[in-house]
Amino acid sequence: MKDIKQLYKSLSSFSVLRSLLEKPLFTHFFEYCRQENQFDRLSAYGAFVCNVYNNGANLTDYVLKMLYEDENIYVKLASQGEKINANIQKEVERELSVLSAFSSLTAEDFYSEIGTDIPAFDSYEADVKGLYAKRLELIGQYGYGIFASNAMFSVSDSGEIVPVVSADTITLDSFVGYENERRRVLANTEAFISGRPAANVLLYGDAGTGKSSTVKAVVNHLFDRGVRLIELRKNQLLLLPKIMGEISKNPLKFIIFIDDLSFNSNDDQFSMLKATLEGSASAKAKNAVIYATSNRRHIVKESFADREGSDIHRNDTVQENLSLSERFGLTVLFAKPEKRLYLEIVHELALRNGIVTDMAELDRAAEEFALRRGYRSARCAEQFIHSLM
Residue 164 shares a structural domain with residue 292? yes
**Per-residue pLDDT tens digits for 274-285:** 666 766 555 578
pLDDT of amino acid 61: 98
pLDDT of amino acid 42: 93
265-299 burial, b if ≥16 CB within 10 A, otherwise e?
eebebbebbbbbbeeeeebbbebbbbbbbbeeebb
- pLDDT over 90 percentage in the chain: 54
Residue 247 shares a structural domain with residue 117? no
Q: How many CA atoms lie within 13 A of 335 on its CB side?
A: 5
Asked which of 300, 316, 334 is the last residue of a domain, the reply is 334
Residue 195 shares a structural domain with residue 100? no
pLDDT at 234 over 70: yes
pLDDT at 308 over 60: no
pLDDT of amino acid 370: 83
Q: How many domains does the chain have?
A: 3
**Per-residue pLDDT tens digits for 210-220:** 899 999 999 99
CA distance 133 to 114: 36
Domain assignment of residue 136, given as a range? 4-144
Residue 128 shares a structural domain with residue 266? no
CA distances from 148 to 22, 68, 143, 228, 362 (A): 19, 7, 5, 10, 45
Of the candidate ranges 131-135, 158-162, 319-323, the one whose mean pLDDT is the lowest: 319-323
**Per-residue pLDDT tens digits for 347-382:** 888 888 888 888 888 888 888 888 888 778 888 888
Residue 204 shares a structural domain with residue 316? yes
Q: Where are the alpha helices (DSSP H) in the chain?
A: 4-12, 24-34, 38-53, 59-69, 73-79, 86-103, 108-114, 128-137, 139-142, 179-193, 211-221, 240-247, 268-277, 304-308, 314-323, 339-352, 359-373, 378-387
Of the candidate ranges 74-83, 194-203, 317-326, the one whose mean pLDDT is the lowest: 317-326
pLDDT of amino acid 282: 52
Residue 178 shares a structural domain with residue 294? yes
Please give the mean pLDDT across all residues of the chain.
Answer: 87
The structure's pTM equals 0.80
Residue 164 shares a structural domain with residue 307? yes
Q: How many CA atoms lie within 13 A of 272 on its CB side?
A: 16
Of the candidate ranges 22-31, 92-101, 109-118, 139-148, the one whose mean pLDDT is the lowest: 109-118
Terminal Cα distance for the chain, rounded: 57
**Per-residue pLDDT tens digits for 152-166:** 999 998 899 999 988
Of the candidate ranges 158-167, 179-188, 239-248, 257-266, the one whose mean pLDDT is the lowest: 257-266
CA distances from 90 to 63, 95, 97 (A): 21, 9, 11
pLDDT at 177 over 90: no
pLDDT at 297 over 70: no
Residue 24 shares a structural domain with residue 106? yes
Residue 134 shares a structural domain with residue 250? no
pLDDT of amino acid 114: 85
pLDDT of amino acid 88: 97
Please report which confidence band the pLDDT of residue 265 belongs to, taking 50, 70 and 90 as the band edges. low
Residue 202 shares a structural domain with residue 131? no
Please report which confidence band the pLDDT of residue 294 belongs to, taking 50, 70 and 90 as the band edges. confident
CATH of the domain at 228: 3.40.50.300
DSSP 8-state assignment for residue 59 = H
pLDDT at 268 over 70: no
- pLDDT over 70 percentage in the chain: 87
Residue 21 has phi, psi (to 5 degrees) of -70, -15
Asked which of 144, 161, 181 is the last residue of a domain, the reply is 144
Residue 25 shares a structural domain with residue 108? yes
Asked which of 99, 125, 144 is the last residue of a domain, the reply is 144
Residue 296 shares a structural domain with residue 346? no
